[in-house]
Amino acid sequence: MIRELAGRLRRANPWVVDLGLTLLVQLAVTMPFVLPREAGLPPVTWASYAITTAAVVPLVWRRRRPVTVLVVILLVGGLYKVTLDGPGQPLPYAGLIAAYTVALQCPARVRAAVGVISLAVIAASVGLETGSARELSFTLFCACAAYALGRLQFTRQAYTAAVEDRAAQLERANRIEAEQAVARERARIAREMHDILSHAVSIMIVQAEAGPVAVRRAPERAEAAFEAISETGRDAMVQLRAMLGVLREDGPAPREPQPGVAALPVLLDRIRLGGPEVVYEETGGSRPLAAAVDTTVYRVVQEALTNVVKHAAARHVTVCLDYAPEALRITVTDDGRGPLGGAGGGARNGPRGGHGLVGIRERAAAHGGTARTGPGPDGRGFRVAVDLVTSPAEVGN
């Protein structure tokens, strides 16, 4: 309840809050004027009430001119004690609130100067009133307590502002991180979709073009070509369903593993049907790879072979995996038209540059590796060489 009320006060208009506080203090200082007085005391007067009110009204401007408000209240209070003998107040409410505001809002130099002046005024006022050490001690205690409360409130506000700023920074950082994660995931899905569709469509086109020729010259090869088209289409559909299943919101994402090194022989057999002769080599001693690296190897080889089928017009292709203790090199070399031949115009990715080789470089960079492309041995053909980092910590993950 108290926290809720404090929150509402913080959100309220400062003018409204200060006006309400002023009215509350005015109500407190009015009580001695309306309550019955003891016999022998002088009667209250409108003049004394007017001066008392004049010491309260400046509180409306306490946030805008805290020092001026405190000085005015002290001067009016001194005038009240010197000129009139009205009813006394249990506490100097207006002066304490003004001192609290100075401690809350003013810098150190201003607070020090105001403190010296206030001590002098308090000492003179007590001396004119009773001159007792008891009253002086009580008045100084009240003034110091108001000052201490103001400094505590300043510290609390500074801490709250720091916490809110930190929370805002964390929220911004989380939002940026989420946006970056979405962008990375979109790029990953785009790469996967490109690799799946580009490879499948390229193989199907090559086999479909070779089918009619094979029907006339070698019927047995025609049957194999059509079977390759069917198998490629089914495999593409399976992978696309798995990929699209990740995007579905009405059920759990599928858990089928992505193809890896173990699936390379099937991929190479599919390329061989109606396409170039493919030689596959593994050197350095094969070993299990982390799931992400395993999939990357398959996708790199798949994209490189897709480019060979689409652009190279090659007769022979060599795929080599060279295992090192903490690295793996993938090399795909063909004897086709080379980087300047075909529709690639030097890019091996179609007339507008495409995304195949870009995707290969992105996959390599994701595993701390590099990708290099260029002419094959003796300047003939085309070669894709990709180095991936496979630290021992990744193995078997």
pLDDT averaged over the chain?
79
Buried b vs exposed e over 251-288: b needs ≥16 C-beta within 10 Å?
eeeeeeebbbbebbeebbebbebbbbebeeeeeeeeee
SS3 content of the chain, % helix, strand, coil (to 5): 65, 10, 25
Domain membership flag for residue 290: yes
Domain membership flag for residue 170: no
Domain membership flag for residue 73: yes
Q: What is the 3-state secondary structure (H, E, C) of 167-180?
A: HHHHHHHHHHHHHH
Domain membership flag for residue 143: no
pLDDT tens-digit profile of 306-328? 888 888 888 899 999 999 988 99
For residue 304, the enclosing domain spans 261-397
The tens-digit pLDDT sequence of the chain (397 residues) is 556 665 665 666 888 888 888 899 889 888 888 887 776 666 778 888 888 888 889 999 998 999 999 988 888 887 777 677 667 677 788 888 999 999 999 999 998 988 888 888 888 777 776 677 887 888 888 889 999 999 999 999 899 899 999 999 988 988 888 888 878 777 777 777 777 776 677 667 666 666 666 566 666 666 666 666 777 777 777 767 766 665 665 555 555 567 889 989 988 888 887 678 899 999 988 888 888 899 899 989 988 888 888 888 888 999 999 999 889 999 999 998 877 554 333 445 544 445 678 888 888 888 889 999 999 888 888 999 999 998 654 444 4
Last residue of a domain, one of 109, 131, 153: 131
Last residue of a domain, one of 78, 99, 131: 131
Sign of torsion over alpha carbons 179, 181, 184, 189: negative
Domain membership flag for residue 168: no
Bridge-partner residues for 328, per DSSP? Answer: 323, 388
Domain membership flag for residue 136: no
pLDDT tens-digit profile of 117-144? 888 888 877 777 667 788 788 888 888 9
Q: How many domains does the chain have?
A: 2
Domain membership flag for residue 71: yes
